[in-house]
Every structure is written in structure tokens, then in C-alpha cells.
Amino acid sequence: MKKMFVWLVLAALVVMAGCAKAPAPAPAPVPAPAPVDTGETMSKASIEFVTIPSEVPVGESFSIAWKVSGADTTTHTVLHYGFTSKADVTELTTQTYPSAAPKGYLSGDTSNGFETSLLFGDVVTLYVRAHAIVDGENVWTEEKMVKIVVPAKASSSTITDESASDEAMSDGN
């Protein structure tokens, strides 16, 4: 009797398994609609220097100006600088350069550009980049170098007594 019961249960399982439906196939993916060509091109945010000196005398204030393109406003823009070149760094962050000017950041309307001033009391070479965040995207300028140099001395054209007398003698002859 036990064997018959086991066979009966097994037969019922086989019948139930044969009646089970196969899972429905996954729906075919719906292709995304093709982009509509409106004739306009999407502009990508960019940033570039407008004015940047290559050399500045020690102790003289100087300005660096840059502009942000590709958006009407920016939420953050600042000048980053340091004393070693980072031109070969491919993943730039706000910590790539140790200093920033202004100490806070600028933001707002990009149509007039941005500007900051710096002053150094020592002979140094600065490596600078402007940085902006536009629509959540970080954009950077190329690295530029600014040398802070000892001012050139004005040439003096002082006439010595000896040279003055030589001139007076040549005028008289």
C-alpha cells in the first residue's frame, strides 16, 4: 500500500508538471525615439583665459581674467594655482593645486567673464588654471605659467665729471 501511495503521488506530480505553463517571454525592447535634428548643436561648457601675464615684477599686483562659455550662469568658478606644474595630471580636482583666488569662489552670469588679482612678494613661478562648474560639469583651462621676477632696473644715464669734460673739449675743437 505504501508503494502504491508513493507511485500515486509521483504520477500526480508528473501530471502537474506537464500542465504547468512555460514562463511568458520578456517583451521586446522598445527602441528609443530617434533624436530630432533641430539644426542646433548642443554646446559643451568650456573655459579659457582672457588675460594672463607671462611675467610680473615682485610686489606688483596683477589680474587674471577668464571666461566661461556654453552656459548663461555658473555655480562656481575660481583660479587655482601652485608652484609645481600639474600639466600632465589627467584627473583634475580642486585639490590638484594647493591655492585658489579669490579665497571664496565666484558665481553668476558668465557674459562678463571673471577676474581676480594676485600679489606675490617673492620670486616664484606660478602654474595656474581657471576652473568652473557648469550644469554639474567641471571644466578647466589649460595650465599657464606666470613668472614673478625681480623688476628690471632702469638704466641710468648719469654723466660723470670725466665724460662731461671730454664732451666739452670735443665741442671746442
Render pLDDT for 121-131 as a digit per residue (tens, 0 to 9).
Answer: 999 999 999 99
Assigned domain for 37 exists: no
Which of 127 and 172 is assigned the larger pLDDT?
127
This prediction has a pTM of 0.62
Q: What is the CATH number of the domain that holds 143?
A: 2.60.40.10
CB-based contacts of 40: which residues, under 8 Å, 6+ apart?
Answer: none
Domain limits for position 94: 46-149
Assigned domain for 62 exists: yes
Assigned domain for 135 exists: yes
Assigned domain for 142 exists: yes
Question: How do residues 80-111 score in pLDDT, each as one tens digit?
Answer: 999 999 999 989 988 899 899 887 788 888 88
Cis peptide before 25 (omega within 30 of 0): no
Assigned domain for 165 exists: no
Residue type present at position 66:
W
What single string gives the DSSP state of each residue in the chain?
-HHHHHHHHHHHHHHHHHHSPPPPPPPPPPPPPPPP--S--PPPPEEEEEE--SEEETT--EEEEEEEESSSEEEEEEEEEESS--TT-SS--TTSSSEEEEEEEEEEE-TT-EEEEE--SS-EEEEEEEEEEETTEEEEPPPEEEEEEPPPPPPP-PPPHHHHHHHHHHHH-
User: Number of structural domains, the chain?
Assistant: 1
Give the integer Cα–Cα distance in Å for 126 and 53: 11
Q: Is 57 left (phi over 0), alpha (psi -120 to 50) or beta?
A: beta
Which of 46 and 25 is assigned the larger pLDDT?
46
Residue identified by cell 500542465 is 19
Average pLDDT over residues 113-134: 94
Assigned domain for 126 exists: yes
Strand pairing report for 55-57 and 99-109 = unpaired
